[in-house]
Amino acid sequence: MLRAARTNFWTLGLRAATKGVVFDLGGVVIPSPTPVIKDFEKKIKLKKNTIVKCLIKNGDNSAFSAFERGELLPKEFEVAFGKELSEFTGKKVDVSGFVEFLESKISEPIPDAMEAIQTLKKLDYKIGILTNNWKNENGESFMMKDELFDVVVESAKLGTRKPNKDIYEKIIEEMRIAPEELVFLDDIGKNLKAAKKLGIQTIKVETGKPQKAIHALAEIIGKELVDWPSTTTPLRPGLELDEQKLRKFLKEKLNLEADELILRQFDHGQSNPTYYIKYAGEELVLRKKPPGKLLKGAHAVEREFQVMNALGKAGVPVPKMRCLVEDESILGTAFYIMDFARGRLFKDAGLSGVPKEERKDCYKAVIEALAAVHNVDPIQNGLQGYGKEKGYLSRQVKTWTKQYRSAETEKIESMENLAEWLGENVPRQQLPLSVVHGDFRMDNCIFHPTENRVVGVLDWELSTLGDPLADLAYMCMQHHLPSTGNGLSGVADLDLEEEMIPTVDEIVDFYKEVRGLKVDFDLDYYLAFCFFRLAAICQGVYKRALQGNASNKELGLTFGPFVHLLSGMGTHFMERSTENKKKIQQELRRSNERFITSPDELRPFAKRVYNDVREFVYEEILPKEHELGSQEFDDKLRWTQPAIMEELKAKAKTAGLWNLFIPFNIDEEMKYGKGLTNLEYAFMAEEMGRTLFGSEPFNCSPPDTGNMEVLIKYGEDEHKEKWLEPLLNGEIRSCFGMTEPAVASSDATNIESSIVKDGDEYILNGRKWWTTMAMHPHCKVCIFMGKTDFNAKRHVQQSMILVPMDSPGLTIVRPLTTYGHYDAPGGHAELDFNNVRVPASNLLVGEGAGFMIAQGRLGPGRIHHCMRLIGHCERSIDLMKERLRNRIAFGKPLAEQGVWKERVGMSRVQTDQARLMTLLAAHKMDTIGAKVAAKEIAMIKVIAPQVAQTVIDHAIQAHGAAGMNHDLPFSGMMTWARALRLADGPDEVHLQAISKLEMKK
């Protein structure tokens, strides 16, 4: 492009070569005063644009013009300008402090402009400044002192201002360059117009886009202006690199060789020195450990290389990694080299340098980059072992509490409360494990030079594996910090709507949208944690300053009050989180009181989850049903977990449709489940029951559901950590071993397996069968029921104990089939326990509690089966209706044959009847508990499988022979419906119990 531009100039021969460049100051070399004026307007409660309108109206006669001509000093100007505005608005306006406010906001030069000026100087261009400025109280003008400028023409000194012709003539004269050999950059159209009239080439600088203007200037002069990033400095003493060794290395390793080597150091205060290298046409960044003795584990550049390399390969915007060098003989310490990501860096979260209408896009770009990081499965992408896979948040809370304690200087109540609350309320990680950046914010993202997209996420020093929500909360923290904050700049004091900056809710929604998340999460916990962490960091800085160890003692001492402020913020989120939880609990208790019979009556949250489940079943699971069902016919694949099932699980988990079955009444703190009632879940389970493969993707499938409930209710912390957590995460599967071939297991008191104590262990002996899921490759634990005391009372002889599936002496004898189905990959196995030893601590509750646990376990399990059976019925009815409408026999559709009208009618009657009874049982379980609702549970356990058998049988019949084949779901469903007349207790046993209760009446 540059070449093309240059060719045009030469070939057309219309323009003289440029010799000098004149810059306006405000809005070109330093920030523009216009947004500052608007801020001031707001500060003194003036209507938007009042000042500009007043200036336009009074033109050269305004106090501002006089101020710029140097006729008024700041105080005089403020009096005159206040008067002018009062007249203009018709009410008293006081602008005292305006000049100080303005100067404080615009004195820092724009780095890109400065870099371009430096390059122009090196290229022998003459540099001029042409500015409308003012004088301060001492009579000196407001002007940047810089020896880079050859000529400075100021309105305040000259007594005339742009766009008056004489001021341009003055600069032309002082520059001693012909107008057509000059380029003038200004952000105001009429100033440019006046210059153009005299033959000067002009470039308009758009607000917040100095890069664009510099690019235009580069095109005019035909040379790159930005040689190195403005954020670099010459190498700092003590951090120099051996240039010879570096050149040798670059040649040998990267095949680069050249005369000129540009080597600079990035100026922002990273703990690992970072260098910019321009060599042989390549722009590189070298990052190394600092010299000297280092703390163990700190400055791990190897880790940074590993994570960026892996993420880059997985498509995350990070600079391309070139090489990692651990050989310290080359540059003194380990280092790595990556590509330099050229682009824009926004230091402030308020994006003051970006036009307002582009700010949302910038935020979106940052969130997209964050989502890209979090979407990478670290284990699948070579980052196994990059961090611990479990317990991220609890570890973080412990670490920062410890850190805080080591720097504590006084008892701060809010810090005490936070530390305790954070430790006690650690939420279970809801989203899949990801790389956590650890310091993710706007100013760690490099934006494309002209487009609003992130081209590189930097600073991975604190990254590890963990809970991605920690990053999201950290990013949202800035919304609760002031824009004037040290280090972390925020937007809390800005009018977000006016500034066109997204709110926290918009950020979270966008994150969810980009990641396809439907999950609701309590970001307040994470925010409370982030503030606690920041407070702990500040406490550390403060303590070091008190001890005299801080690099900047005075600054360090100012951090003390921050600890109070930040822990106060943390407390706010802690209270909000607690309050929200209470509200949800109250809502759930209220909703428990209502018996509803249709999903339309669900409370909004439950309705949303229900709709999401339904959509997931239809859109994600049903299309894969046949493929999932076919695997058991493949001898090689039969006992393997289908990859698509794992994909479905990951999707459902990410969507927040996970562990829905855990009822609120056993999980009031909503530690494990979603806070749904059994009744609410019944509607969802019905949707899952539309296919035999419908519950596993949501981690709601038996026997894990029952086993998880057992562990929630009866497990010790150790059991929970070892077995419940991986079950809740869907990482392992489990089985339940009660039934024995040798005895009538309908009566659990008959079982004969033994559990005998031997020191710290129990020895298990016995034979079990119909142990569902034991064949599954992920099945890792069995809840084994046996007798610890054959002589005790009938119902206290039994105990339950957790048995790892890989225990020596435990053998899978064979898989059993149900009507010829293997129900693979979980199957139903016959198991032999031959002197299996397990730690005594694996016993649940205590000796003799087995029967009680079994009763507790079977209640929810039974009802879940029934809920799904209703789903089998509805699916069968749907398919049956379709078939009946379309199949023509004896001259008319089957639907018109009388017998089918009756079968369809009865199917509807029976299904609705069974559903209503199931819902009632669920409601009773919610309100009076499974024990008291035993009759209702027994009744549905009898009726639902029978209804399902009838309805499915009609559907088979309607499909003719096709109905028997596994192309259609009926044979599998029918098998289950039949099996459920035995599994979890045969019909007769339930009827016996119902009849016993009935007879008592």
Ligand X SMILES: Cc1cc2nc3c(=O)[nH]c(=O)nc-3n(C[C@H](O)[C@H](O)[C@H](O)COP(=O)(O)OP(=O)(O)OC[C@H]3O[C@@H](n4cnc5c(N)ncnc54)[C@H](O)[C@@H]3O)c2cc1C
**Contact residues: ligand X, CB under 6 A:** 703, 736-739, 744-746, 770-772, 818, 828, 979, 982-986, 988-989, 992
Task: CB nearer to ligand X: give 746 or 855.
Answer: 746
Give me the least distance between CB of 699 and ligand X, in Å please: 18
Specify the DSSP class assigned to residue 818: B
Task: CB nearer to ligand X: give 585 or 749.
Answer: 749
Q: Sign of the CA dihedral 211, 215, 218, 223?
A: positive
Q: 232 vs 229, 266, 274, CA distance in Å?
A: 6, 4, 9
Question: Sheet holding 126-131: strands in order across?
Answer: 151-154, 126-131, 20-23, 182-186, 201-204
Give me the least distance between CB of 771 and ligand X, in Å please: 5
The closest of 390, 531, 399 to 467, measured between CA atoms, is 390
d(CA 500, CA 508): 16
Q: Is 16 exposed, middle or buried (0-12, 13-18, 19+ CB in 10 A)?
A: middle
Task: CB nearer to ligand X: give 690 or 941.
Answer: 941
Task: CB nearer to ligand X: give 880 or 979.
Answer: 979
Yes or no: say if 288 and 301 are a contact pair by the CB < 8 Å rule: yes
d(CA 422, CA 398): 9
Give me the least distance between CB of 998 and ligand X, in Å please: 15
Residue 888 one-letter amino acid = I
Give me the least distance between CB of 743 and ligand X, in Å please: 7
Residue 127 three-state SS: strand
Give me the least distance between CB of 742 and ligand X, in Å please: 9
Task: CB nearer to ligand X: give 58 or 754.
Answer: 754
Yes or no: say if 479 and 489 are a contact pair by the CB < 8 Å rule: no
- Residue-by-residue DSSP string for 437-462: -SS--GGGEEEPSSSSSEEEE---TT
- Residue-by-residue DSSP string for 981-993: TTTTS-HHHHHHH
d(CA 873, CA 880): 10
Give me the least distance between CB of 1000 and ligand X, in Å please: 17
Give me the least distance between CB of 629 and ligand X, in Å please: 16
Yes or no: say if 149 and 129 are a contact pair by the CB < 8 Å rule: yes
Give me the least distance between CB of 979 and ligand X, in Å please: 4
Task: CB nearer to ligand X: give 32 or 975.
Answer: 975
Task: CB nearer to ligand X: give 115 or 984.
Answer: 984
Task: CB nearer to ligand X: give 261 or 982.
Answer: 982
Q: Is 247 exposed, middle or buried (0-12, 13-18, 19+ CB in 10 A)?
A: middle
Which residues, listed in sequence order, are joined to residue 804 by a DSSP beta bridge? 781
Task: CB nearer to ligand X: give 181 or 984.
Answer: 984
Q: Which helix (H) or strand (E) holds 768?
A: strand 761-772
Buried b (16+ CB within 10 A) or exposed e, 739-759: bbeeeebeebeebebbbeeee
Task: CB nearer to ligand X: give 536 or 980.
Answer: 980
Give me the least distance between CB of 818 and ligand X, in Å please: 5
Long-range contacts of 237-242 (CB under 8 A, 24+ apart): 238/291, 239/265, 239/273, 239/290, 239/291, 241/275, 241/286, 241/331, 242/331, 242/332
Task: CB nearer to ligand X: give 232 or 739.
Answer: 739
Give me the least distance between CB of 587 and ligand X, in Å please: 36
Give me the least distance between CB of 867 and ligand X, in Å please: 17
Largest CA-CA distance found in the chain, in angstroms, rounded? 116
Task: CB nearer to ligand X: give 502 or 826.
Answer: 826
Give me the least distance between CB of 920 and ligand X, in Å please: 24
Yes or no: say if 373 and 514 are a contact pair by the CB < 8 Å rule: no
Give me the least distance between CB of 341 and ligand X, in Å please: 56
Task: CB nearer to ligand X: give 746 or 749.
Answer: 746
Q: Up-side HSE of residue 987: CA atoms within 13 Å toward CB? A: 11
